[in-house]
Amino acid sequence: MLSGVERMRLRFSRSTEAKKKAKLGQFLTPERTARFMAGLFNSTPDKWCRLLDPGAGIGSLSCAFFERCLSGELHFEKIEAAAFELDNTLCDELNRSLSLYAEPLGLEFEISCCDFIASAVSLIRAGRSNYTHAILNPPYKKIGSLSPERLLLREVGIETVNLYSGFMALVIGLMAPGGQVVAIIPRSFCNGPYYRSFRELLLKKSAIHRIHLFKSRSRAFRDDAVLQENVILFLERGGQQGDVVVSTSEDDEFRDMAVHTYPFDRIVLGGDLQRFIHVPTSTERSPIELYATMEHSLESINLKVSTGPVVDFRLKEHLRNTPTSGTIPLLYPAHFCGQRIVWPRPNIKKPNAIERNVATERWLYPNGFYCVVRRFSSKEEKRRIVASVVQPDTFGGVDVLGFENHLNVFHNDRRGLSEPLARGLAMFLNSTAVDCRFRRFSGHTQVNATDLRTMTYPSREQLIELGEWMMTLRADPTQAMIDAQLERVTACQRRRVASTKRCKS
């Protein structure tokens, strides 16, 4: 029977305009994916099943669930189903699909051709949270802060930016204790500040038991030409959080499926206030997991970071293309090439110097070792954060330096750092772990001083150890060398802390 529903889905997919699909966020679930999703539900001693299918489309997911009931893998004495579908053109097909199972299963079902969000909000406010199972492929569409959908969601304490996460939050709210939810949704909710409230709700009210990741961004919904990363979640309302089974496959054929079990602290890292949800694809620790072990604030390691104070258009009359008597070096991002400084640099279309006088003195820093990070990275850069080191002997014994506004400067109360600390800080900031963290947290390419202040860092001792290692090298280290050395330094510290705790106990 499910194969007949699949043929119906293919006809709909081919005959429906892409604009309509996008407008409704409507992409129906292929048969193989539907069967996989239905296969994730656990058998329970419950005699009564109350199934919820919001955004049901033509009923592919519900029908896959009913197929498991027909096979005897899921057994209930009574099955009821509630299906919601906003598109009236699909409701007749949905009715035909569900009717196929009415007699064989004794199924009782109700189809609501209406807005699920409005209906669900009314049910939650009335205290009607009694569904035992839910299976869904919710619509994917951004919702504005003042849209009717957002205003309705706020009535029940839900704040989110997309229909799919709004549907998920409502479904969790409608489940009875122990209720099981299986959903296929975009991976975008796993990180970024916009979905933080939704992640907190999901993790507070449910336990994650299974995550499946499709490696291909184009093949899970290839009939509809959808390009996005998708995950399938299996949740339990109010469940006890334990280890999480994570599986991956290239596409919905599942031929290359790999399955591993991970402790929950590899899914949501301890101490992560953003509650990012990680989907490990290897038993090896990822760079972002390594970053999570670095828990020191800039303040705790006695460092500060500021935007370069020289705003060139405001001090234009004091800028000079070539250093002369009475000027001091003015540093732009273009003066830094890896860990080297090229100054003066005559062909960069930027000044190389600024006059030192009463008007400029307040904007200058004493000459010394500093770590600097460009506020904007070039298209050729592989990392978002690009750090370099200022070396005081580059400038011929000058007393002060100017840092232009497109640089962020790490300093010690406007004074320089020790060389090992400056070099170690640059090595850390140039690591893959930091790049991964920044990309997950920030949706923009600009790196502001505020971003750098909110990050966490290794201890001051670890940074100095990194810098001392850097100073033994004859050339700039490769990315692999930086990452390996950071892993060694932090691993040694973790072993020392663990040893100290054992001694105390």
pLDDT tens digits for range 155-180: 999 999 999 999 999 999 999 999 99
DSSP secondary structure letter of residue 240:
P
Could you give the CA distance from residue 1 to residue 109 in angstroms, rounded to a whole number? Answer: 17
What is each CA distance from 97 to 15, 55, 90, 250, 483, in whole angstroms? 19, 14, 11, 29, 54
DSSP secondary structure letter of residue 312:
G
- Contact (CB, 8 A) for 195 and 189: yes
Q: What is the set of domains in the chain, with CATH numbers?
A: 2-283 (3.40.50.150), 299-497 (3.90.220.20)
Phi, psi of 27, rounded to the nearest 5 degrees: -135, 105
Angle between the 419-429 and 479-504 helix axes, to the nearest 10 degrees? 110
Q: What six digits make up the tokens of 227?
A: 């390009």
Neighbouring-strand partners of residue 180: 133, 236
Neighbouring-strand partners of residue 246: 211, 260
What is each CA distance from 227 to 28, 36, 337, 487, in whole angstroms? 14, 21, 37, 35
Angle between the 460-471 and 419-429 helix axes, to the nearest 10 degrees? 100
Neighbours of 291 (CB within 10 A): 26
Could you give the CA distance from residue 55 to residue 164 in angstroms, rounded to a whole number? Answer: 10
- The contacts of residue 444 (CB under 8 Å, 6+ apart) are none
Instruction: Give me the pLDDT at residue 9, please.
Output: 62
Cβ burial 347-357 (10 Å sphere, 16+ → b, else e): eeebbbbbbbe
Could you give the CA distance from residue 226 to residue 244 in angstroms, rounded to a whole number? Answer: 28
Q: What six digits make up the tokens of 504?
A: 């105390």
What is each CA distance from 164 to 75, 86, 174, in whole angstroms? 30, 14, 15
Say whether the peptide bond before residue 346 is cis (omega within 30 degrees of 0): no
Dihedral sign from CA coordinates of 480, 485, 486, 490: positive
- Cα torsion 399, 402, 408, 414 to 10°: value is 40
Instruction: Give me the pLDDT at residue 225, please.
Output: 45
pLDDT in tens, the chain (505 residues): 666 566 666 666 655 554 544 444 456 788 899 999 999 999 988 899 999 999 999 999 999 999 999 999 999 999 999 999 998 889 999 999 999 999 999 999 999 999 999 999 999 999 988 999 999 999 999 999 999 999 999 999 999 999 999 999 999 999 999 999 999 999 889 877 789 999 999 999 999 999 999 887 555 444 444 446 889 999 999 999 999 999 999 888 889 999 999 999 889 877 777 888 888 877 666 777 777 778 899 999 999 999 999 999 999 999 999 999 999 999 999 999 877 888 999 888 899 999 999 999 999 999 999 999 998 865 456 778 999 999 999 998 899 999 999 999 999 999 999 999 999 999 999 999 898 878 766 655 688 898 899 888 999 999 999 999 999 998 889 999 999 999 998 886 555 544 554 444 4
Neighbouring-strand partners of residue 213: 231, 248
CA atoms within 13 A on the CB side of 14: 6
Instruction: Give me the pLDDT at residue 269, please.
Output: 79
Instruction: Give me the pLDDT at residue 227, please.
Output: 46
Helix (H, G, I), strand (E, B) or coil at 297: coil
- Identify residue 45 by its one-letter amino acid code: P
> pTM for the complete prediction?
0.67
Q: Which of 454, 452, 463 is nearest to 493 (CA)?
A: 463
- Identify residue 192 by its one-letter amino acid code: G
Neighbouring-strand partners of residue 133: 51, 180
**Residue written as tokens 């001392």?**
468
Could you give the CA distance from residue 400 to residue 468 in angstroms, rounded to a whole number? Answer: 25
Q: Which of 441, 466, 432, 439 is nearest to 301 (CA)?
A: 466
**Residue written as tokens 């996460």?**
165
What is each CA distance from 485 to 264, 393, 456, in whole angstroms? 27, 27, 18
Radius of gyration of the chain (CA): 29
Instruction: Give me the pLDDT at residue 319, please.
Output: 93
Instruction: Give me the pLDDT at residue 502, please.
Output: 46
- Identify residue 138 by its one-letter amino acid code: P
Could you give the CA distance from residue 163 to residue 171 in angstroms, rounded to a whole number? Answer: 12
Neighbours of 460 (CB within 10 A): 16
